[in-house]
Structure 1
Amino acid sequence: MTPVEIIKGKSPIILAMPHTGTCVPETIFDSLNTRGHALEDTDWHIDKLYADLLPDATQVRAVFHRYVIDPNRDPSGQSLYPGQNTTGLCPIIDFDDNPLYRNGREPNKTEIEQRRLSFHAPYHAALGAEIARVKARHGLAILYDCHSIQSRKPFLFDGKLPNFNIGTNNGITCDNRLQQAVTDICRNADGYTHVVNGRFKGGWTTRHYGRPKIGVHAIQMELTQSSYMDETAPWAYRPDKADRLRPHLKDILQTLEQLATEMTS
């Protein structure tokens, strides 16, 4: 399995897609239980949702599933949200707190390290290389980390999430002009709700790469899956919903690209 797919673009915008992959090596798949086999916590259809919205954007997409190893978690295993329920580097539970593995088949430290070297590290090597390439070309790079989740997950958060969940680690990972522009678009999107640095403040990708002082800006966008698809199996893409959402996402990406030009002119 090639762990990562890369589309090189000429734009200052990089789309990262760490959770759309559904490939699981056979040996790992065999150790998962029925719940694990369902791959429920996939960011379903995110690549389709963003397709062609910004044709010149670079795209870095993990091919492997997050149950193999989560590329948006700290490789040290440290929690991104201390004191809150979450899933780990190699998840052993899903977003509903259900076990993913057959009894006694959870990965040990040696296997977790093997997965890190085989999947997590190559994904971030590719993403880091693209950030460096784009920054060298434009003088800055804007990493837009694409995510989605079911709108209700009581194990992770109370109530229902807003449609747009913007994460910048409380403003640390990008220039304020970028955060404000994205926020304004989401606020003005008729019929949609939004929050900035709410339950999702940006995962390891956003926090690790977002260094605005050196010209690398990072924003995580967590969308509710109800905004563009059915939230129950078989997780159908809903063109009627997606076609209404996509213009707002296109506006976000085009606005970020324009701001990148202004910030380097």
Structure 2
Amino acid sequence: MTPVSVHEGTAPVILVQPHSGTFVPVEIEARLNPCGRELLDTDWHVDRLYEDLLPEASVVRANFHRYVIDANRDPSGVSLYPGQNTTGLVPLVTFDEQPIWAEPPTDEEIEARRRDYHSAYHAALSLEIERVKARHGVAVLYDCHSIRSRLPFLFEGELPDLNIGTNNGESCARALESAATDICAQSDFSCVLNGRFRGGWTTRHYGKPRTGVHAIQMEIAQHCYLETEAPPFAYNDSKADKLRKTLKQILERVNALALSGELEGDGS
């Protein structure tokens, strides 16, 4: 399987999906323990959740699982949230702090994965950003994520339904941040802006409004569209349909803003 799939759309919006892939090479899977092989921390069915919500959008998707290497982490291994619990470039534990490896990878193996998977993914994403920006003058990365709503290792209590991250307003124009926040606030879902999740490495690394590249992360509590937040993590059509209406509104509004020209030169 190729490390990354790219769909080249005609819109200024790129749907980025670094954590929905479930591919684990046989030689790596053999070194996971039984807990690791459950792939508990997948962004389950995120590709299905966003399918055709904005048909003209580009899609860049990592096909490999985050346990192989996390495409949304700084390749240097620097923590996204210093002082807070999180998982690293190659996770050693689940979001429940349970070990996932029978035989953890060596530094040499991590470097090989960085080259073969992480770098390949970001090379493809960078090319798509440049293609979209050349066509529209701007590119908007909409970073698609989901997570279990109760994970004491990462955060207290229950996560809001919709968690918008803009690196405290630095990764995108204010108009984009306001549009997403306003639509979420008017929906039936609870929401927060720059709460526990302010945007991962993708949002922070690429989101540079002054260069014409804007990035916004959406982290969704999985109970909003799954039967349960436990294996087999089945997709619930009725829940998902309700959520998709809100997500569609966000994407259409973001796309309209990018096409309007309002974002060009907006480095706020």
TM-score by length of 2: 0.97
Match of residue 38 from structure 1: 38
C-alpha contact 1:138 1:264 (8 A) present in aligned 2 = no
The reply to whether residue 201 of structure 1 matches residue 198 of structure 2 is yes
1:177-219 Cα shifts (integer Å, max 9, x gaps): 10001000000002x1000000000000000000000100000
Cα distance, 1:240 vs structure 2 = 1.0
Q: How is 1:56-135 mapped onto 2 (pairs within 5 angstroms)? A: 56-102=56-102, 105-135=103-133
2:173 and 2:21 map into 1 onto residues whose CA distance is 30
The Cα of 1:261 is off from its aligned counterpart by 1.5
Shift of residue 247 of structure 1? 0.6
Gaps of 5+ in 2: none
Partner residue in 2 for 1:49 = 49
What is the identity, as a one-letter code, of the residue corresponding to 2:249?
Answer: D
Tell me the residue number matched to 2:219: 222
Which whole-Å CA distance do the structure 2 matches of 1:233 and 1:101 have between them? 19
Q: Letter of the aligned partner of 1:231 in structure 2?
A: E
Match of 2:183 among 177, 182, 185: 185
Secondary structure of the equivalent of 2:16? strand
Check the 8 A contact 2:180/2:250 in 1, yes or no. yes
Give the conservation status (yes or no) of the 8 Å contact 1:139–1:264.
no
Query: What residue identity is the alignment partner of 2:207?
Result: G
Q: Where in structure 2 are the equivalents of 1:208-247 lying within 5 Å?
A: 208-229=205-226, 230-247=228-245
Aligned residues of 1:173 and 1:206 also touching (Cα < 8 A): yes
Q: Hey, what's the Cα distance between the residues in 1 that align with 2:202 and 2:99?
A: 25
- Residue 236 of structure 1: SS of its match in structure 2? coil
Per the alignment, in what secondary structure is the counterpart of residue 31 of structure 1? coil
Contact 1:144 1:219 in 2 (8 A): yes
In the alignment, the residues of structure 1 paired with residue 52 and residue 179 of structure 2 have an alpha-carbon distance, to the nearest angstrom, of 21
Counterparts of 1:125 and 1:219, CA distance in 2: 19
SS of structure 1 residue aligned to 2:30: helix
Question: C-alpha distance in 2, partners of 1:2/1:264?
Answer: 34
Cα distance, 1:108 vs structure 2: 1.5
* Inter-partner Cα distance in structure 1 for 2:128 and 2:254: 17
CA contact (8 A) 2:21 2:61 kept: yes
Tell me, in whole angstroms, the C-alpha distance in 2 between the residues paired with 1:116 and 1:234.
Answer: 29
State the 1:232 CA deviation.
Answer: 1.2
1:104-134 Cα shifts (integer Å, max 9, x gaps): x111111110000000000000001000000
Deviations 1:62-103 (A, max 9, x none): 00000000000000000000000000000010100000001x
Q: Specify every segment of 5 or more residues in structure 1 that has no aligned partner in the other structure, as ranges.
A: none
* CA positional deviation for 1:157: 0.2
Counterpart of 1:166 in structure 2 is 164
Amino acid at match of 1:52: D
CA contact (8 A) 2:173 2:263 kept: no
Hey, which bits of structure 1, 4+ residues long, moved more than 3 A? Answer: none
Q: What's 1:254 paired with?
A: 252
Partner of 1:112: helix, strand, or coil?
helix
SS of aligned partner of 2:216: strand
Render the CA deviation track for 1:157-188: whole Å, top value 9, x for unaligned. Answer: 00001110000100000001100010000000
- 1-side partners of 2:120 and 2:212: how far apart? 23
Percentage identity across aligned positions?
60
SS in 2 for 1:245: helix
The amino acid that maps onto 2:131 is R
